[in-house]
């Protein structure tokens, strides 16, 4: 009788968790659920079933619930270790911190004090959700997070997370990079009071016509050209990019076609950006908005309080690195399937997010060190199958270990893992 198992993948990830010094914080059940979250994300019950199927590891759902308080007590220690790893592997020194938020919805329509309906980035505004704030390095390696009720305005999440992070780790100075949703008078005031520098996206559609005319005159549609001017939100830096122009022009063309479709067949379209309604209740193209949007093609703005001694191009480059946090969110939501959430009470919710945060740390580290997607890494490791053969005559069982290919041996060297 033969039985196949994928022990190598489990042992590989176990070695990684140990090498990165997270083992000390993890009860066995939490360790195994983190491993399963990386290999094949699923509900806790399904993950327990898969641990048995793939690795002959046995847990119960009650064991998970029993260990939640112990696990949650290690949250700060896990964050501290994530920061230590960021310093060791990615030269992180808090001088540049990237921040963004996302929403995680529930397969439920019943809200409570934490799970509340709100603006959803998944198009699930009618369902209870959480708002998650994430802090990453310039490589997208996660170092901190926090959870907010689902109806929290995303602009109100940044200051509490950043200030608490700085206090926990005794940091006095840093530059915060965030998108335009984070810009507000109160946030700017709080950042200045904390003596923090910032680079925040600017919505150029909101600036005065006079300032807009100055910007277009100074940038002259010359690729890479920047213009800087003081405003009440800090200095506004605007860059023109011919690559962005082409991208923006393509998107504008799509939006105009969508608007025309809406006008011709209103029943087929719920919303269209460039449609306005006349006094006669007729839908027509919003020509004024189209002209203004066209004038903005290729332009991108940034608010900052960084001194003028820092080149504008360097400030712009820092902001462009913000896509790394979007990439981390994509990994969390797709590869690790942080959403939708099936935990419905406070402590299991926090445990679920902490498990996903730890899985994100491990998954992102694998991608950065091996320069290959997490899914491809897991596919390769799960191909390695041990076969257990039962000798009926002696009732003894013999294990035929999977042969480790060269590509995996190279991964072990890069990760400094022994097996």
Pairing of strands 386-391, 396-400: antiparallel
* Local confidence pLDDT in tens for the 419 residues of the chain: 455 678 899 999 999 999 999 999 999 999 999 999 999 998 889 999 999 999 989 999 999 999 999 999 999 999 999 999 999 999 999 999 999 888 876 654 444 445 444 444 444 555 677 888 999 999 999 999 999 887 788 888 899 999 999 999 998 889 999 988 888 888 888 888 888 999 999 999 888 888 988 988 888 788 999 999 999 999 999 999 999 999 999 999 999 998 898 888 876 666 778 998 888 888 889 998 998 899 899 999 999 999 999 999 999 999 998 887 777 777 766 666 665 455 557 888 899 999 999 999 999 999 999 999 999 999 999 999 887 766 666 666 667 777 899 999 999 999 999 76
Distance of alpha carbon 134 from alpha carbon 360, whole angstroms: 11
Runs of H (alpha helix) within 300-345? 312-320, 323-330
CA distances from 110 to 94, 101, 126, 299, 344 (A): 39, 23, 10, 43, 10
β-strand partners of 302: 201, 237
- What is the pTM assigned to this prediction? 0.85
Angle at 166 between CA 161 and CA 169, to 5 degrees: 120
290: nearest Cα among 263, 254, 265: 254
Sort 156 into a burial class: Cβ within 10 Å, 0-12 / 13-18 / 19+. middle
Q: What is the largest CA-CA distance in the chain?
A: 91
As a whole number of angstroms, the distance between CA 167 and CA 348 comes to 27
For 96-115, the three-class secondary structure string (H helix, E strand, C coil) is EEEEEEEEEEECCCCCCCCC
Q: Cis omega (within 30 of 0) on the bond before 229?
A: no
Beta carbons of 223 and 242 less than 8 angstroms apart:
yes
């Amino acid at each position: 009788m033969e039985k196949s198992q994928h022990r190598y993948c489990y042992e590989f990830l176990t070695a990684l968790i140990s090498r990165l010094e997270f083992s000390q914080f993890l009860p066995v059940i939490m360790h195994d659920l983190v491993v399963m979250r990386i290999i094949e994300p699923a509900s806790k019950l399904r993950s327990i079933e898969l641990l048995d199927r793939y690795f002959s590891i046995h847990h119960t759902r009650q064991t998970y619930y029993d260990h939640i308080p112990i696990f949650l007590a290690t949250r700060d220690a896990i964050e501290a270790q994530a920061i230590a790893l960021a310093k060791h592997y990615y030269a992180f020194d808090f001088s540049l911190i990237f921040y963004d938020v996302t929403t995680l919805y529930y397969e439920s329509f019943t809200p409570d004090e934490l799970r509340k309906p709100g603006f959803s980035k998944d198009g699930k505004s009618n369902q209870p959700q959480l708002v998650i704030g994430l802090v990453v390095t310039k490589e997208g390696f996660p170092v901190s997070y926090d959870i907010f009720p689902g109806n929290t305005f995303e602009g109100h999440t940044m200051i509490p997370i950043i200030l608490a992070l700085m206090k926990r780790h005794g940091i006095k100075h840093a530059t915060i990079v965030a998108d335009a949703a984070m810009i507000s008078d109160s946030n700017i005031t709080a950042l200045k009071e904390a003596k923090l520098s910032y680079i925040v996206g600017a919505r150029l559609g909101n600036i005065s016509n006079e300032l807009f005319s100055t910007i277009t005159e100074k940038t002259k549609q010359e690729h890479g050209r920047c213009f800087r001017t003081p405003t009440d939100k800090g200095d506004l830096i605007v860059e023109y990019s011919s690559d962005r122009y082409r991208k923006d022009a393509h998107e504008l063309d799509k939006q105009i076609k969508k608007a025309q479709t809406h006008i011709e067949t209103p029943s087929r379209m719920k919303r269209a950006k460039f449609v306005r309604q006349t006094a006669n209740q007729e839908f027509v193209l919003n020509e004024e908005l189209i002209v203004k949007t066209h004038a903005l093609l290729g332009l991108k703005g940034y608010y900052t309080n960084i001194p003028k001694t820092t080149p504008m191009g360097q400030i712009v480059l820092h902001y462009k690195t913000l896509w790394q946090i979007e990439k981390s969110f994509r990994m969390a939501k797709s590869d690790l399937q942080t959403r939708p959430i099936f935990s419905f009470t406070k402590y299991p919710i926090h445990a679920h997010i902490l498990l996903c945060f730890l899985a994100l740390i491990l998954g992102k580290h694998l991608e950065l060190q091996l320069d290959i997607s997490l899914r491809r890494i897991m596919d390769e490791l799960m191909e390695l199958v041990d076969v257990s053969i039962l000798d009926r005559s002696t009732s003894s069982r013999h294990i035929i270990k999977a042969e480790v290919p060269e590509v995996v041996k190279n991964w072990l060297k890069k990760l400094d893992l022994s097996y």
